[in-house]
DNA sequence: CGCCGTGTCAATTAATGATTGACAAAAGTC
DNA sequence: GACTTTTGTCAATCATTAATTGACACGGCG
């Protein structure tokens, strides 16, 4: 059994917005509107991310990375895991029809 | 000096399409049109990826991952590095105006 | 010559990331 | 208690873009 590279877990990975909402914002004790202003995005855009209905784009990851001081990597990886998990399910049957070119 | 997490190098990371064009396709000895057919995308879409003018989306990464047998991770990471590098330059001055919340 | 596959360009469509505007509910102030 | 401000959410609009289809020049081959 190959335990390496667990391409995607059974459970949906947490959306980066959740981390932002549950951990980061409370720690900074900032109202959302003020956070949005500092990040240079609209109030609504940040709300959507917090609600998990908008993705953390590479640009937003850069903003968050600078703002939180931890760099864009974490936000980007979280969003990527999230996207991949969903795409994998959306394309499940399509992928089944794609041939593999590395020794069946 | 902090040598860890080199968020982005000076040089533009190679586009995943380049790897596909230079290494994968030659190894498989397949014409592009046939590869596109097997991947389930249009001929033109694949050409654009090979030319570096179209991104490898999460869905395309899944297709390539299945097709090549190495999983979506590599393609996704390459594209992400590529996107990040460009976004970092596009947002350079915007980022300069975003305050950092972790000890100046 | 006529045919087929290749590589590229333009136009169209569908999806989506982000902004603005509007509005009800909660918090704060006089 | 009435008034103002802030908050959280919804809808509409705009701009971008990923992907498709259609069209066309080039090169080998029957």
pLDDT band at residue A39 using 50, 70 and 90 as cut-offs: very high
- The residue that minimises its CA distance to C1' of C18 is A45
Closest Cα of chain B to A32: distance in Å? 15
CA distance linking residue B84 with residue A72, whole number of Å = 9
Q: Which of A7, A69, A87 sits opposite B102 (nearest CB)?
A: A69
As separate numbers, helices (DSSP H) first and strands (DSSP E) second, chain B gives 7, 0
The answer to whether the Cβ–Cβ distance between A62 and B84 falls below 8 Å is: yes
pLDDT in tens, B65-93: 999 999 999 999 999 999 999 999 999 99
- Residue B42, sorted as left (phi over 0), alpha (psi -120 to 50) or beta, turns out to be beta
The answer to whether the Cβ–Cβ distance between B84 and A90 falls below 8 Å is: no
Name the pTM for this structure. Answer: 0.90
């Amino acid at each position: 059994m190959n335990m390496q590279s667990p391409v995607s877990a059974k459970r949906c990975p947490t959306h980066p917005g959740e981390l932002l909402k549950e951990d980061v914002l409370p720690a900074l004790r900032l109202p959302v509107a003020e956070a949005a202003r500092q990040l240079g995005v609209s109030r609504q855009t940040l709300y959507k991310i917090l609600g998990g209905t908008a993705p953390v784009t590479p640009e937003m990851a850069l903003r968050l990375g600078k703002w939180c001081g931890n760099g864009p990597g974490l936000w980007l990886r979280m969003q990527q895991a999230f996207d991949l998990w969903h795409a994998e399910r959306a394309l499940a049957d399509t992928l089944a029809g794609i041939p593999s070119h590395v020794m069946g």
